[in-house]
Structure formats: structure tokens, C-alpha cells
Structure 1
Amino acid sequence: MSNYANTKDELDSLKERLPKWLEASKSLSTGGKVASYIPELSKAPQQALGIHIIDASGDSVSAGDCGLSFTMQSISKVFTLLLALMDNGEKAVFDKVGMEPTGDSFNSMLKLELVQPGIPFNPLINAGAIVISSLIAGSGPDEKAERTLQFFRSLSGNERLQFDLAVYQSESETADLNRSMAYFLKDNGVLEGNVHDVLDVYFRHCSVQAQCADLARMALVLAYDGTDPITGVNLVPRRYVQIAKTFMVTCGMYNASGEFAIEVGLPAKSGVSGGILTLVPGRYGIGLIGPALNPKGNSISGVHLLETLSKELDWSLF
């Protein structure tokens, strides 16, 4: 039986089973908290939970609040990494950021001073993603942000993706810790360019507004090694997708990445808006939203739903 036939049968089965699993996971949202350190994010509905799953033929299944719009936040870091790799190549990127998980929270700057040579441990923590933002090609922050948005649009197949200006403004006004990191990195010779301009690009790509279907389509490109299987167009070199997916396994769920690898076993990236992008290699792209977060900053109900799906359908890579 072809892989397409396998996924079609599985999606047909999921249409029956997914709503029940989603409702069971949704009940956990009362134990989480919506992010409030970026004030605009605190407006998200705590009880919401939605998911969209798509295969290579474009067949899909959705459940719950999948029509809810939210900002990509840290999920965007996977794709700015890909863009920076395409603009600069591996050596230039990894001269500036490392390849290791930190074990610290995503916004910690502790090891920048303690561990030489003082570069961020990986591109998915805030310090690393700020450095990556500085490596995106363009004549200034407007061109860099626009190139990033166009890249996200091509990956999602959605030309209507836009920046959420209210979230961008809220993020920019409350980003003292990120500014501290950026100035430290600048002083340390890691960050090049104007700090204000680099952070402007960073805040903007975190504020790209999307829905579950957009994340799922972007994840599908990763699931098929950089080629959109629906259009047949290669969008990212396979090697760079391999790098990104490896970071997603080791660092994508903040300092709960090891636990997620054991319980779910799929490459994934979360954001503090409650979004999670994940994939089943060679089969599915998956986008999820659940704004109530656990103490590690991941969607509490979303992680539970992905655990259920992985165990019930034997999706773990391990």
C-alpha cells in the first residue's frame, strides 16, 4: 500500500477519534496559564485548543479551535534559522551560534558569560534567535523583515500572512531582557549591526500571525525535507532542513525537549502564544494552538494531545 493510501486511511480514522482525544486534553488547560509577560498575549482564550493535520496530497483533518489566529513567537525561529542558513551557509551561522541544548529557560543569558566563547548555545533560545535575526540578508530592518515574511508565506502557501502590529508593539515595549542580551552579545563581538535594528527584525518575525493550517503546511515542507509535496516546489535545501529538525528534537520545546522526545518523539517547536508546530517525517505536517502554558512555557493541553496522538498512532521516531 502506498504511503498516500496509508495516510488517507489514518486521516479518515482520525476524523472519528480526534475530537474525543482533543476534548480530553482540553480539560487540562485549567492547570496552565496564558503568557502575560507580553501583555497582548494575555488576551488569548485560556480554554482554546485546536489542531490541523495535513498530508502530502493536501488531505487534512482539523478539530477544536483551529480557526483561532495567534502569533508564531518562537516557532518563527526555526524558519529564520533556515533563511539565515540559505543566506550565509553553515560555517558563518555556526561561528555565531552553537548546536547544543542549554538546560536553561529560553530567555536565560546566564551561560553567555559563564561558558566560553560566549556565543548562544543554539538558535532556538532567545539569544541565539536574536543573533540569527542579524544574519538575515537585507539593506535594513524593513527589507529583512519583509524577506522573512515572504519566506513564511511561501512555506505556508498563504500570501495573506501578516505581522500582528499590536503584538509587535507590545513585545517591543516590554523587551528589556532581550535588549540586555542583545547589547551583551554586541559588546562580546557576537552580534553585528545596530542592536535596535536587529531586535526590530526579531520582534517582527515573532509577531507573524498564523492559524493551525499555516503551521501545518510549513511543517509539511519540513516533513518532506524542504520540498512542498503539494506543489512539488523545493523551497529549502535538504541539508538545512536536516539541521533545523535536529534542533527541533534537541531544543524545540525549551528545557522540556528531552521529556517531549521521550513522550512524543517528533521534531517540534513551541511558542509562548501556545502554538506548536510538529511533523511526522514523510507523512504529516501538524499545527496546534492551546494558549494555556505549563511551567516550561509549552501548551499544557497541546503537549498532552500530541502525546496521545503519538502513542495511539505509533508516531514516535524512537
Structure 2
Amino acid sequence: MNQDVLSKIVENNKGLISQGAVATYIPELAKVSKDYLGAVIAFPDGTMLSAGDTKVRFAIESISKTVVLALALLDNGEEEVFKHVHKEPSGDAFNSIKKLETEPDHLPRNPFINAGAIMTASLIKGKDPEDKFNRILEFMKKISEDDSLELATDIYLSEKATGDTNRGLAYYMKGQGVLSGNVEDILDVYFKQCSIYVTTESLAKIARFFANGGVLSTGERVIPKKYAQIVSGLIATCGMYDQSGEYLDNIGIPGKSGVGGGIISPVSSKKIGVAVFGPALDAEGNSVAGMGIMKDISKEMELDMF
């Protein structure tokens, strides 16, 4: 892969933008231009290939769930975390309550659907919601090797004002006795983690971090290899919501999306991180042109794990 090939891949997928639309259920996201498109490949030696709109800042949204899961594992250990959330694909929409009602233990199916991410956020250590969020932000800065990451206050307030479905999920779990702590405090952490401004470049470095077994490009180990493997495995099986199986079958590498338009793919076999940004989403909430780029990169670099 070289710069010209990546630029051509991005250009060739711009035609898919018209098939998607920006997220509108969060008012601030509705203001983002659907025409942005970019891709970054981060290599283990610290070098990167970039093409398109890779320096545009956008909300990380559900990709934050990978980072928070890693921090929850550090704070609590694997056994404790998975007493509170399962590891299975849901087959339902990311904000569905259906599985919570039908599971005998009323636990979320995985950490990447909204109910599971709210549960994971509740496991982060800290003296108050602000302290917990600051720990998440600092951890994200570290593993993305990007100190410029910050809370997008306008998006956070928009998330908070329109987050009633997430409140329903959280209060249901609280009512069933499986979620501990103050619900509004937990949700405040969750809304903020989803509202961190990132770029495609910072996302590619997060993906590389997981692909490289929890090690930064400097060689510093931040989390145990086992925790990175857990996160990457769940990205592969649960990262694209109820489109996860189709994504893995068609593209052959793990993928975690966010309704801000980002997708990350940690490719452990090559220790590289791939990230795309395209705010035009399909019905499942995944970037239409972004998935096209991922498919072409996977084919060009022969990344398909199957």
C-alpha cells in the first residue's frame, strides 16, 4: 500500500456517500457535512498513510466503547467485568431493550451495544462522574498518542438532551438490580465519553494500539496483551451492531463503528490500525463509504483473516 493507492481508494468510494445520511437523532450530529471522507493506516513503527479528510474533528461516539472497555478491564480485571456484561452479539439494534428483558439475568449481551456500554461506564473507578470521565479522556489521549483530544461540549449537551432511550436502558437495569450507582451520574460519564472530539488519525492509532497487543508505537505497554485481545475479539463479533456478521464476512477484519461516521479496524496479524471517517450512514448506523474503503483496503493489503 502506498499514498497514491490509498488516495485512489478514498476517491473511488465517494460515490457511496449519496446512499447514506448523517445521524439526525442527535441534533449536533445533524449539522455535520455528509461529504467528508477520509482514511488512515497506522503502522507499528509509528508511520501513517492518510488520504482525504483525516484531520477533521468529529465525535467518537460508540468507538469510545472500545477504550472504556479496556480501562474497565484495567480497573476491575476480566472476571469482574464479565460478571456485569456478556460477550455475545445481540442481533438487535444498538439501543434495543429487547434482550435485556428476555435475558434471564437481565444483563447486556455485550459491551458495545448501548446498554452494555452504560454498564461498562459504571465500572470505571473515580470519586465522582467528572473524575471518571477525566480518567477516560486521559486514557484515550494516551492510547491514541494524541494530547489534543477534548470534550465537545455542544455534542455532549445534545446527547444529554436527547438521551431518553439510553435513560430507559439504564433505569431498566437499575430496576432489575444489575446496575449499581446513581443512574444520572453513570449516564453523564457515558454521554461525555461519546462526545470526545477525535480525528481519523487518532482513531487509527487507537486501532493500532489494540492490534499491537496494548503496546504504543514507542514500545510502552499500557494494558496486558490479553485485554487487547478481548477488545479486538469483541470488535470482530459485536463492533458493527446487527451488521457485524455481514461486515466480518464481506471485509474480513474487525470493525467498530460510531454514528459520528468513524470506523476502526485493528488488524492484529499485521499490527496495524485502520480508521475511516464518513458521516453518511446506512440504516444500521454504519458509514456507507467508510465500509467501502475498508473493503478495498482489506483486499489491496490482503488483510482478510479468512
Distance in 2 of aligned mates of 1:139 and 1:91: 23
Within a 5 Å distance, the mapping from 1:155-234 to structure 2 comes to: 155-228=143-216, 230-234=217-221
- Write the distance in 2 (CA, Å) between the matches of 1:86 and 1:65: 33
Distance 1:55 1:241 in 2: 17
Unaligned residue ranges in structure 1 (runs of 5+):
1-9
Structure 1 residue runs of 4 or more that deviate by more than 6 Å after TM superposition: none
C-alpha deviation, 1:265, in angstroms: 1.2
2:28 is paired with a residue whose SS is: helix
Displacement of 1:128: 0.3
- Measure the CA separation in 1 of the matches of 2:147 and 2:297: 30
Match of 1:31 in 2: 19
| Length-normalised TM-score, structure 2 | 0.98
Asked whether the equivalents of residues 276 and 294 of structure 2 are also in contact (C-alpha less than 8 Å), the reply is no
Whole-angstrom distance in 2 between the partners of 1:296 and 1:26: 19
Q: Counterparts of 2:68 and 2:166 in 1: how far apart (Å)?
A: 17
**How many angstroms apart in 1 are the aligned matches of 2:281 and 2:183?**
30
State the alpha-carbon separation in 2 of the partners of residues 27 and 267 from structure 1. 24
> What are the residue-to-residue correspondences of 1:133-172 with 2, within 5 Å?
133-172=121-160
Percent identical across equivalent pairs? 44
Equivalent residue number for residue 238 of structure 1: 225
Quote the residue 2:302 is aligned against: 314
The answer to whether the aligner puts 1:64 opposite 2:52 as a matched pair is yes
Deviation of 1:312 after TM superposition, in Å, equals: 2.4
| CA deviation string 1:78-121 (max 9, x = no partner) | 11011111101112111110110010010001111112111000
Q: Gaps (5+ residues) in structure 2? A: none
**Which AA in structure 2 matches 1:313?**
M
2:278 maps to what in 1? Answer: 290
Count of aligned positions: 305
Q: CA RMSD in A?
A: 0.9
* Aligned equivalent of 2:248: 261
2:265 is the counterpart of 1:278: yes
Give TM-score scaled by structure 1 length: 0.94
Secondary structure of the equivalent of 2:295?
helix
